Amino acid sequence: MNLEELWQSTLAEMEVQLSRANFSTWLKNSHLVNKQDGTFFIALPNNFAKEWVENKYNKNLLGILRNFDASARKLEFVVASQNVIAPLRKESSSTQSPQAENQMRLELKIDPETNLNPRYTLSSFVVGPSNELAFAAASAIINDVGSKYNPFFIYGGVGLGKTHLIQAIGNEVKAKYQGKIRPKYVPSERFTSDVVWAIRNKRMEDIKKKYRDVDLLIIDDIQFIGGKEKTEEEFFHTFNTLYENNKQIIISSDRPPQSIPTLEERLRSRFEGGLITDVSYPEYEMRVAIIKTKLQELNQSLPANVIDVIAKRMKKNIRELEGTLNKILFYQERKQTQITESVAEDIIEKSSQNLSRRVTDAQVLKAVAEFFNINTADLLSHNRRKEVVEPRQIVMFLLRDMLELSYPSIGEKMGKDHTTAIHAYEKISRDVNKYAALNQKILMIRDMIYKG
Ligand code: ADP
Ligand code: MG
């Protein structure tokens, strides 16, 4: 089967699972445009469709595709218009507009050697108080690979720019040293599956060469490695070999090393021997700057008051901020009118309703209980033990913050007075800004909630 046939077969099965309207809105114009190392690249006509399909159908599509091609490990969604895709599939590039071609190249050309996506650059990375330390470390590393800040460990919540920054380091190093310093980027799941594959096929030597034969190893989302014994072992050896040869190691995670419970002690202390920095929520000015940068990249514009509305509302996740921005641009493009503040408000309102509808109070309780290793019954009890008081306050805080419940209804759910709910919300809101550890805990709980 060629790529087109493979995709048509996948779609045929998918079509059965969806309503006709859904299928034709979201998937009819999708194409499988490339595959590489088990990653299959699916092109969609616009950002809105990309976001949608990525969030809703990723798992299903991958499951079906795997039945036809067992090498499929992951889908990557990209935006490309029809006039880019058609000639590309015919393998002739003569009719492509240079701009479209460029866009396609950026989205699809993940360098097979380094695994880096050229889309992530330092120049497109907006710097502000929430990430300036991480940025400074990145710049220092680029100028002085391997000797300064080694290993470099960066952590923070979802969608705050970790992948962007560490890939940008790789891209800059590659450009600056022209092949004399060889970077390699790998998501930790990929590393894990490589090791598993090698064990099964008795090809450990291949893996050793693949990962130890680089000068700068970038491992993304290391928290997924923890607990997988053989992988951790192999990672540790790779780490040591590189480290002893003054090779640079960069690691990202959604939490600091001491909070990855399954991580082996010797690995953790290695990380702690280097530089550890975090990225946190961007402040208002920075959110505005990010929106403006993004608009410039897309060659689009929005009225200042609309930019202001987006920046005021989208506070906690740059990926979601970008998603909202894309929705608004998509709307503007479709209607061929300049968007107004109130329409923008409306779009934001709808998408945040979607986000909060996904989360239930039961999920919040469950996540907090799991995180602190206590029973949900304790959270709902009148027990005043210190171990349950703070978790209970966190529950109330999250019910307000994520679900936007009223204080009386929070009180009711928790068997408490509404003033207790107010107190809890205010206390945690204050403390989150004061204590990094609490902030981190809440980021992790949020993440658990979103991931279900
Ligand atoms: P993480 O890896 O922390 O989950 P990503 O690096 O994937 O987050 O960032 C999510 C999205 O937000 C990406 O599209 C990225 O380009 C964008 N982004 C994040 N931080 C910045 C920044 N400081 N400047 C510009 N874009 C950013
Ligand atoms: Mg990431």
Annotated domain spans of the chain: 3-98, 132-278, 284-357, 361-451
Beta-bridged to residue 153, according to DSSP, are 251, 276
Q: Which ligand has the shortest distance to the CA of 221?
A: 2
What pLDDT sits at residue 301?
Answer: 92
**12 touches 3 (CB < 8 A):** no
> Could you tell me whether strands 39-44 and 74-79 are parallel, antiparallel, or unpaired per DSSP bridges?
parallel
Indicate the fold that domain 284-357 takes in CATH: Helicase, Ruva Protein; domain 3 (1.10.8)
Q: Is 131 touching ligand 1 by the criterion CB < 6 Å?
A: yes
Q: Determine the Cα–Cα distance for residues 429 and 55; give it in Å rounded to an integer.
A: 30
Q: What is the pLDDT along the chain (452 residues), one digit of tens a residue?
A: 788 889 988 998 888 887 776 777 778 889 998 888 899 999 987 776 787 788 888 999 999 999 889 899 999 998 876 555 554 444 333 333 444 445 554 555 678 889 999 989 999 999 999 999 999 999 999 999 998 899 999 999 889 999 999 999 999 999 999 989 999 999 887 888 788 788 888 888 888 888 888 999 999 989 877 666 778 888 888 888 899 999 999 999 988 888 877 677 888 888 888 999 999 999 999 999 999 999 998 889 999 999 999 999 999 899 889 988 988 988 888 788 889 999 999 988 877 766 655 688 999 999 999 888 889 999 999 889 989 999 999 999 999 988 878 888 899 999 998 889 999 998 998 887 677 778 778 877 887 787 66
The residue type at 312:
K
What's the gap in Å between 337 CA and the centre of ligand 1?
29
Lookup result for tokens 């909070």: 259
What's the gap in Å between 201 CA and the centre of ligand 1?
36
Q: Which H/E stretch holds residue 313? A: helix 304-313
Q: Determine the Cα–Cα distance for residues 154 and 252; give it in Å rounded to an integer.
A: 5
Q: What is the rounded end-to-end Cα distance, in angstroms, of the chain?
A: 36
Architecture of the domain spanning 3-98:
2-Layer Sandwich (3.30)
- Mutate which of 219, 318, 325, 326 for ligand 1 pocket (most atoms within 8 A of beta carbon): 318
Q: Which two tokens stand for residue 271?
A: 């990380």
pTM of the model: 0.63
Q: Which ligand has the shortest distance to the CA of 159?
A: 1
What's the gap in Å between 317 CA and the centre of ligand 2?
12
What pLDDT sits at residue 45?
Answer: 79
- Give the number of residues written for the chain: 452
What's the gap in Å between 123 CA and the centre of ligand 1?
13
Please tell me whether residue 119 adopts helix, strand or coil conformation: coil
Q: Is 126 touching ligand 1 by the criterion CB < 6 Å?
A: yes
What's the gap in Å between 295 CA and the centre of ligand 1?
15
The protein residue whose alpha carbon is closest to atom 18 in ligand 1 is 161
Q: Which atom of ligand 1 is nearest to the CA of 158?
A: 4
Indicate the fold that domain 361-451 takes in CATH: Chromosomal Replication Initiator Protein Dnaa; Chain: A; (1.10.1750)
CA atoms within 13 A on the CB side of 301: 3
- Alpha carbon separation from 22 to 16, 43, 379, 395 (Å, rounded): 11, 17, 41, 36
What's the gap in Å between 15 CA and the centre of ligand 1?
33
Q: Please state which CATH number belongs to domain 132-278.
A: 3.40.50.300
| Domain 132-278 shares a fold with domain 284-357 | no
What pLDDT sits at residue 91?
Answer: 38
What pLDDT sits at residue 87?
Answer: 45
- How far out from the chain centre does Cα 164 lie? 9
The residue type at 251:
I
What pLDDT sits at residue 81?
Answer: 60
What pLDDT sits at residue 354?
Answer: 60
The protein residue whose alpha carbon is closest to atom 26 in ligand 1 is 125
What's the gap in Å between 154 CA and the centre of ligand 2?
11
Classify each residue of 74-103 as buried b or exposed e, where b means 16 or more C-beta atoms within 10 Å of its C-beta. Answer: ebbbbbbbeebbebbbeeeeeebeeebeeb
Q: Is 319 touching ligand 1 by the criterion CB < 6 Å?
A: yes
Q: Determine the Cα–Cα distance for residues 200 and 335; give it in Å rounded to an integer.
A: 55
- Mutate which of 154, 319, 443, 446 for ligand 1 pocket (most atoms within 8 A of beta carbon): 319
Q: Which ligand has the shortest distance to the CA of 164?
A: 1
- Listed in sequence order, the residues at least 6 apart from 95 whose beta carbon sits closer than 8 Å to its beta carbon are 83, 87
Q: Which H/E stretch holds residue 77? A: strand 74-79
